[in-house]
Structure 1
Amino acid sequence: MRNAGDRLKFIKPVEPELVLEPPVSDDWFHEIKYDGFRTELIRDWAGVRAFTRNGHDWSKRYWPVVTAAEQLKAESFILDGEMIAPEPDGRPNFHAMHSRMTWNAELLAYVAFDILWLNDEDLRQRPAIERKEILWDLIKPAKGIIQYSAHVLGGGAEFYEAVEKMGLEGIVSKRQGSSYRSGPSDIWVKTKCWEYGEFDLLGIKREPGKETVGLMARDGKYAGPATIALTKAQRERLMARVRKGQPPAGVPTAVVGPMVEWVGPGMTARVRYLRGEAKLRHASVQDLRDDGT
C-alpha cells in the first residue's frame, strides 16, 4: 500500500512471446507492432516522467511528450506504450529515433496501448480489453503527439496479412480477459512479418542430426545464421566452394568452431527473415547463387 506523498514507481512491462503465426481464436485482440522505444509514462503529484523498458528516466529526452501528458485530465496514471518517430503517413521510422531525440524531440509521438494505473487505482487485474476502454477515455481523441493504439477483435490471420502488405514490422496479440503481468508472458504474443533480402554466404555449419546452417553477411558485416535446405545440385555446387583456412574478417569468434567450413567469395543467398531484428532471426535460405569464378 502506498503512503501519502510517495511517488508512483516504475512497473516492469510485459514482454510478449515471439510466435511465427498469430492466434486465430476470438479470445484475442490484435494491434500493430510499432517500431520504436518501449516507454512508460507515469504521472503523480509531482508531474509526469518517461521511463525506458529498463526503468531509466528519459523525461528530458522526451520533453514534448511529457509536456503533452501533463495536459491529460487525471491526477495520476501509468501508461504503457511505444515512443516512435512517425513519418507524414504515420508509419514509424526507427532509424530517425536517435536524431529526433537529440535535435527534434517535438517530432516524436507516443502511442499508448495500455493503462496500469489511474487516479490511485491499480488497474492491472482488470481485463486487457477493459483497460483499453479506460485508456481511450483518458487520451481521446489521441490525434496529436499522444496517440492511441487501435485494435481489432479476432481475425488475427487477416489482420497480420494486412499489416504485412503495409510493410510494417508485425502485430501484437493480447488475450482479451488477461490481467497485466510483468516480464516474459504468453498472454501477449508478437508475430513479426517476413522480409526477403540478398546476403553473402560466408560459411556453413554442419552438425550431425541438425539442419545445415549458413553464416550470412551483408555489406561486409556479419548478419547472423540462416538454415539451408539444399537440393542435391545446390549441395554439390556449394561443397565445391568450401575451403579450409581462416574465417573471413569480421566474423565473431563465438560463431567460429570446428563444425564451420568457409566458403570462397561469390556465393550469394536469398534469405527470408523476420522484419525489424538487428540480426537474422528465424532465417532460412530460399535460393543460392554462385557469382564467383
Structure 2
Amino acid sequence: MKLTPIVPFEPVIADLPPAGEQWIAQIKWDGVRVLSYYDGSSTELINRRQNYRTKQYPEIAAAESYCKAGSAILDGEVIALSEGKPSFHEVMRRDSLRKESAIASTVRQIPILYMVFDILYCNGVWTLDLPFLERRSLLEEMLRPHPHVQAVPSYNDPAALLAAARAQGLEGIVCKDVNSVYSPGGKDKRWLKCKIISDLNAVAGGVTFRDGTVNAVLLGLYGDDGRLHYIGHAGTGKMTVKDWRELTALSHRLAAQDMPFASLPQRVKGAFWIRPELVFKIHFLEWTDSGTLRHPSIQARLDLSPSECRLPKR
C-alpha cells in the first residue's frame, strides 16, 4: 500500500454540548474506528491502533465501490446493529475474527455499516488543512451509494441532537467546529464528545466462579504509581454463555498466586487471581465516592494493551 497510515484525530469529553453557529453535531456511533486507505489499485482498512482490518470487513474492502475518487483516505466507524441500535458487542464479534472461514460465515450473521464522517485525502491531495465544512461537502460529493456505507449526517443544534440520542438510548454525540482542520494524532476541543453512556476499558485482575464457570470479573485501572487499582466487579452485560466458558478457560491459563491489585478489593471472597492481561470495555452509571464503578456491565473483550487502561484524572 502506497498510502502511509495515520493516527486519527480524537475528540475530548465535554459535559454539555457547545452553543454557537460554528458547531455541528453528529451521532457518536458505538463501533470500531476504521480508516479506509485507497491508493487507486487496492484498499486497506486500518483501525486507530494501526492494526489491519481489511479481512474482517470484506463488504467495504473495495473502496472504489463506494468512493468516486481515484485515491482517498476516509475516516469513520464500523458498526453492527442489534435491535436497531449500534452494538459494540456485535461488531467486536466481527472484529476479533482471524480465520477467513469464520469471517465468511459471520458476514451473513452480523452485517456491518461503515459510517463515514471525514475525508483526509482525495485524488492525490491531502485535505487535512481544509475546514471541516469543506471536507464534509467533498465527502458527500465523493461517496457512491452502497449498501454497507453511509455518510454520517450532521445537525446544527447539538443540544437537540443530544436530547434525541438520549431518548433513543444511544451512546452520545460528537460536536465539531465547522472551521476545524484535521490534526493526525491530535486531541483537542475543536471536536467535543458528549457521552450519555459512560464507558472505559479496564483490566481483569481476578474472577469469581459459580458452579465452575466464571460469573464475574474483578476490574482495575493503572495509576500514575504504576500499580493496578481496583475499580469494581462486573458480572452482567453482553457476555454470552460461550463467552463465559471461554473466559473460564482463559482464567485458568492466567492463574496467578499473588493478588495483582494495589490493595485488597471489596469483593475478595472466592476471588481467583489472574495475571492482568485481559482487557474489557465496560459501561457504567457513575463513579462512587470510594473510587469504584456504579452498575458496571461488560460489553466486550478487547485486543488492547493493559497498560493503556489508566485511572482518569480527578
Alignment of 1:119 with 2:119, yes or no, is no
Assess if the C-alpha contact under 8 Å between 2:65 and 2:144 holds in 1.
Answer: no
Change (3 A) 1:25 1:99: same
Alignment of 1:177 with 2:179, yes or no, is yes
Change (3 A) 1:140 1:284: farther
Change (3 A) 1:171 1:216: same
Matched with 2:241 is none
- Structure 1 distance, partners of 2:267, 2:106, is 45
What letter is aligned with 2:233? A
Larger radius of gyration: 1
What letter is aligned with 2:75? D
Matched with 2:137 is 133
Matched with 1:217 is 233
Assess if the C-alpha contact under 8 Å between 1:36 and 1:97 holds in 2.
Answer: yes
- Structure 2 distance, partners of 1:218, 1:71, is 41
Change (3 A) 1:281 1:125: farther
Task: Tell me the CA shift for residue 31 of structure 1.
Answer: 0.3
Q: Map 1:181-200 to 2 at 5 A.
A: 181-183=183-185, 184-194=187-197
Q: 5+ unaligned residues in a row in structure 1: which ranges?
A: 1-5, 203-213, 222-251, 266-275, 289-293
Matched with 1:55 is 50
Task: Tell me the CA shift for residue 46 of structure 1.
Answer: 2.7
Task: Tell me the CA shift for residue 220 of structure 1.
Answer: 8.5
Deviations 1:23-77, CA, capped at 9 Å, x for gaps: 1222111000001100000111331110011222211111111136445322100
- Structure 2 distance, partners of 1:45, 1:147, is 21
Matched with 1:94 is 88
- Structure 2 distance, partners of 1:51, 1:177, is 26
Q: Which secondary structure does the structure 2 equivalent of 1:40 belong to? A: strand
Matched with 1:19 is 14
Task: Tell me the CA shift for residue 114 of structure 1.
Answer: 0.3
TM-score by length of 2: 0.62
Measured on the aligned residues, the alpha-carbon RMSD in Å equals 3.5
Assess if the C-alpha contact under 8 Å between 1:7 and 1:45 holds in 2.
Answer: no
What letter is aligned with 2:132? A
- Structure 2 distance, partners of 1:33, 1:52, is 17
What letter is aligned with 1:118? C
- Structure 2 distance, partners of 1:173, 1:69, is 29
What letter is aligned with 2:235? D
> Percent sequence identity over matched residues?
27
- Structure 1 distance, partners of 2:14, 2:267, is 32
Q: Which secondary structure does the structure 1 equivalent of 2:162 belong to? A: helix
Task: Tell me the CA shift for residue 277 of structure 1.
Answer: 5.6
Change (3 A) 1:282 1:76: same
Q: Which secondary structure does the structure 2 equivalent of 1:278 belong to? A: strand
- Structure 2 distance, partners of 1:29, 1:79, is 19
Change (3 A) 1:65 1:170: same
